[in-house]
Amino acid sequence: MALDRWIALIFFLICGLYGYTAYFVMDVGLPPFMRNNPIWPSTFPKVLAILGMICSLVILFGFEKDEREPEAMDINYRRLTDYNLGQAILLITLMVLYAFSLRPVGFVASTMLFLIMGAATLGERRFFILIPVAAIAAGGVWYLVQEVLGIFLRPWPMAFGG
């Protein structure tokens, strides 16, 4: 079986477990007044599980395959060393570090650092444009989440009392 079908099978199993949890575990603890509502807290996870299982079945049965020859732009898993794996691994590492740095460093600073370092990893070298864009993006997202939606985000590092 090809690599994409193995991944689809694993994804199908994960979606099945997620769907089982949404259908049988999440609904057990609902208070009685919520049982008459048309939309429950588990409605969106149920939809996601069903859509994920449908997508993985499409890949498992090969409905998305066409009978053409692979082109130069198609990803060939047998030649993974020809791709920029270093950049991809570094970006994934930056994402994990970003997630761990949100509380101690604060949202604005960690988001700015992630955007700047991620863009530099991908090859951007015009820092005089990159730094203001990252600052505006981080500040704008913080403002929308904090002030417009009313969800608290620690904007500054803990050392600054944020």
pLDDT digits (tens, 9 = 90+) for 46-73: 999 999 999 999 988 887 776 666 566 6
Q: Is 91 in the same domain as 55?
A: no
* Residue 115 φ then ψ, to 5°: -65, -40
Q: Is 39 in the same domain as 90?
A: no
Q: Is 60 in the same domain as 95?
A: no
Residue 122, domain member (yes or no): yes
- 0.75 surpassed by pTM: no
Report whether 9 contacts 52 (CB < 8 A): no
Domain total in the chain: 2
Q: Is 63 in the same domain as 93?
A: no
Report whether 107 contacts 157 (CB < 8 A): no
* Number of other CB atoms surrounding residue 13 within 10 Å: 12
Q: Is 151 in the same domain as 89?
A: yes
Containing structural domain, residue 107: 85-160
Report whether 158 contacts 103 (CB < 8 A): yes
